[in-house]
Amino acid sequence: MKPIDLRMEGTRQGAIETARNRIIVVMALFTLGFFSLVVKLISVGVFQANGTTYYQTASSSQSALMARADIVDRNGVILATNLKTPSLAISKVDMRASAEELAQEVSEVLPEMEYEDVLAIMNAKGNHRWIKRKLTPKQEYDIRKIGDPGLVTSDSEKRIYPHGRLAAHILGAVDIDNNPKLGVEAYFDEQLSDPAKSEEPLMLSIDIRLQHILNQELTSYMDKFLAKGAAGLVLDVRTGEVLALSSLPDFDPNDLNGPKNLSEMNKVLQGVYELGSGFKTFTIASGLENKVVDLSDGYDATKPVVVGGFTIRDDHPKERWLNIPEIFAYSSNIGTLKLAQDIGVERQKEFFDKLGLFGKSDIEVYEKSGPLLPRQWGPTELATTAYGHGIAVTPLHLATGIAAMVNGGRLIPATLLRKNVSEFTGVTRISSDDESSAHSQVISQETSGIMRNLLHLAVEVGTGKNAKVDGYLIGGKTGTAEKVIKGGGYSHKAVISSFISVFPINDPKYLVFAMLDEPQGIKETFNLRTAGMTAAPMVGDIIRRIGPLMGVSTTKKDEIEYEDLILVSGHER
């Protein structure tokens, strides 16, 4: 019995050993597989992270390379971008149903298209024809449900402007094939359409927050005074950067049509107007810079003056001698033209030319206008251009000139590009033309200081009183000009009222210009439509809102002392 038991025990022990070995092998294989998976995950997640990112970026960039680069404001807010949208075409060789049957089904999905129009497209010559671009997701879904292989949908890119009309005159628009039509879209088309730069947004100088405020106030006052149009801009006088620019009526760049008529043109850059008394700033600066007068000098403004058969009057007559500060503060046409006569034609023309008033601006759009100058420059033209008649310029011309009057005398070309983008990465920076040469010095710092005082005086005691804002020292000048009638002459029923201001005037930072095209007098203004009643309060409301937003500190009046500016009428400085 014992030998048999030993054999049975040996057999049982061998079976157990074999089972144990098999379990060990399975566990070893499982462990090996598990560790291989762990190693692979670690390798992918850590050691190959850069490589994986590279391939994902390359893959995503492949479609993005077809895109037009974004446009952003100075703070990186998107102003123009791309959205993938499907388009519908017909491929005749792949059609299974008849053209009539497909046209009926497609017109039911696309109610904006008539059956006859769809059928005409399907029956046109050629194998491939576009039926509709930019389908909605539901339209694409319903087209696919038709199930005919002849109906082909393909991805395309639609340029969209998230803020709609808000910055239309700056951005411009593109057509259905993303070809630019106007604005910075057209001016910078080479950069925006460059595949190598498709992921580098173009950064503008515009601040969309200021753009909103400007547009809102222009709309409000345009409605209030029943004006045909309005326009305005906010400019940094230290850099020339345009922070906001608006023109009304505007257009929606998302509808692919752009401006529909002349009233929707860019009034700030394309519109040329006789802007009236804003030019008195230049005439007085010229007289001071050329040492023709000083602040104590004056002219007889007792009665109207006849020049070249035209009788020239003051809108706010004092009927006495006025010194230079009074001529400016009370906006005397008579005093200004007499000063211009002492300056003379050649020196006046030379000064206007130095301010860039004789040519187009360098701002980065194609749709901009040059000035309309007198055909001859005789005694009559010398007198009228001195106070802003007989010479028509764009509001931007006036703004850049006034900026030079207050910023120490430097003429800095306006730009739509942000100048300092060092804090941003991956944005397209295009050098402005003005950076290649020094800014021209058009008046001395001493004359600039005097002009700041005079502009402040015009707001404190002169025609710009309605632009005052508590806490801010503001300088400015009103401009009311009768509109030119087609064929010659002026309309007594239609005016352009404008106000141009700088704040804080003791340390100039920002210029605000606003104008109304043919405002109507209302009861609140005693039926007056002059700039002091219409445009000045509009600019005051704009400054009241943008000042705190731009971090401009408030100032008490007794915190600054101005040079003595003589006002014999007895008004306080």
Q: What is the pLDDT of residues 214-238, one digit of tens each?
A: 999 999 999 999 999 999 999 999 9
Higher pLDDT, 53 or 102: 102
Residue 208 has pLDDT above 50, yes or no: yes
Cα dihedral across residues 261, 267, 273, 276: positive or negative:
positive
CA-only gyration radius of the chain, Å? 35
Say how far apart CA 287 and CA 366 lie, in whole Å.
Answer: 35
CB 104 within 8 A of CB 151: no
SS3 percent helix, strand, coil of the chain, rounded to 5, is 45, 20, 40
Would you put residue 169 in left (φ > 0), alpha (ψ -120 to 50) or beta? alpha
User: Is 294 inside any structural domain?
Assistant: yes
Residue 483 has pLDDT above 80, yes or no: yes
Say how far apart CA 441 and CA 357 lie, in whole Å.
Answer: 15
Residue 486 has pLDDT above 60, yes or no: yes
Residue with tokens 């003589």, as numbered in its chain: 566
442-460: average pLDDT: 96
Classify residue 64 by its DSSP letter.
Answer: H
Classify residue 392 by its DSSP letter.
Answer: B
User: Is 168 inside any structural domain?
Assistant: no
Residue 39 has pLDDT above 80, yes or no: no
CB 247 within 8 A of CB 208: no
Say how far apart CA 124 and CA 126 lie, in whole Å.
Answer: 6
Backbone angles phi, psi at 209, to 5 degrees: -70, -45
Sorted by sequence, the CB contacts under 8 Å of residue 299 that are 6+ apart come out as 321, 322, 327, 334, 335, 338, 339
Q: What is residue 56's predicted lDDT score, i.e. its pLDDT?
A: 29
The whole-chain average pLDDT of the chain stands at 86
The pLDDT confidence band at residue 185, using thresholds 50, 70 and 90, is: very high
CB 404 within 8 A of CB 434: no
Q: What is residue 36's predicted lDDT score, i.e. its pLDDT?
A: 67
User: Is 222 inside any structural domain?
Assistant: yes
Say how far apart CA 337 and CA 241 lie, in whole Å.
Answer: 33
Say how far apart CA 402 and CA 516 lie, in whole Å.
Answer: 19
Q: 75-79, 172-176, 291-295, 499-503: which range is least confident on average? A: 172-176
Q: What is residue 162's predicted lDDT score, i.e. its pLDDT?
A: 95
The pLDDT confidence band at residue 57, using thresholds 50, 70 and 90, is: very low
Q: What is residue 382's predicted lDDT score, i.e. its pLDDT?
A: 96
pLDDT (tens digit, 9 = 90+) per residue, 405-439? 999 999 999 999 999 877 676 676 665 444 544 58
Residue 566 has pLDDT above 90, yes or no: no
The bridge status of strand 202-203 relative to strand 71-72 is: parallel
Closest listed residue to residue 394, CA positions, set 489, 288, 268: 268
pLDDT (tens digit, 9 = 90+) per residue, 240-279? 999 999 999 999 999 876 787 888 999 999 999 999 999 9
19-42: average pLDDT: 66
Higher pLDDT, 563 or 527: 527
Q: What is residue 250's predicted lDDT score, i.e. its pLDDT?
A: 95
User: Is 216 inside any structural domain?
Assistant: yes
Q: What is residue 289's predicted lDDT score, i.e. its pLDDT?
A: 97
Q: What is residue 46's predicted lDDT score, i.e. its pLDDT?
A: 44
Q: 30-39, 140-149, 447-456: which range is least confident on average? A: 30-39
Higher pLDDT, 169 or 26: 169
Structure tokens at 200: 């580098």
CB 365 within 8 A of CB 401: no
Residue 47 has pLDDT above 80, yes or no: no
Q: What is the CATH number of the domain that holds 412?
A: 3.40.710.10
277 is catalytic: yes
Please count the structural domains in the chain.
Answer: 1
The pLDDT confidence band at residue 61, using thresholds 50, 70 and 90, is: very low
Higher pLDDT, 520 or 569: 520
Residue 66 has pLDDT above 70, yes or no: no
Please give the share of the chain, as a percent, with pLDDT higher than 70: 83
Residue 479 has pLDDT above 90, yes or no: yes
Cis peptide before 195 (omega within 30 of 0): no
Please give the share of the chain, as a percent, with pLDDT higher than 90: 65
Beta bridge partners of 236: 510
User: Is 77 inside any structural domain?
Assistant: no
Structure tokens at 350: 């030379």
Q: What is residue 128's predicted lDDT score, i.e. its pLDDT?
A: 87
Residue with tokens 């004006």, as numbered in its chain: 227
User: Is 116 inside any structural domain?
Assistant: no
Q: Structural domain of residue 502, as residue ranges?
A: 211-559
Backbone angles phi, psi at 104, to 5 degrees: -65, -45
Would you put residue 172 in left (φ > 0), alpha (ψ -120 to 50) or beta? left
Q: What is residue 316's predicted lDDT score, i.e. its pLDDT?
A: 85
Q: Is 295 helix (H, G, I), strand (E, B) or coil?
A: coil
User: Is 56 inside any structural domain?
Assistant: no
Say how far apart CA 451 and CA 295 lie, in whole Å.
Answer: 11
DSSP line for 246-259: EEES---GGGS---
458-466: average pLDDT: 94
End-to-end CA distance of the chain: 135
Residue 352 has pLDDT above 90, yes or no: yes
Higher pLDDT, 25 or 68: 68
Residue with tokens 């306080």, as numbered in its chain: 572
Do you know the residue count of the chain? 573
Sorted by sequence, the CB contacts under 8 Å of residue 412 that are 6+ apart come out as 237, 238, 239, 240, 400, 403, 404, 434, 439
Residue 320 has pLDDT above 80, yes or no: yes
CB 255 within 8 A of CB 159: no
User: Is 353 inside any structural domain?
Assistant: yes
Catalytic residue among 107, 198, 205, 277: 277
Q: 75-79, 130-134, 295-299: which range is least confident on average? A: 130-134
CB 210 within 8 A of CB 243: yes
Q: 1-10, 317-326, 378-387: which range is least confident on average? A: 1-10
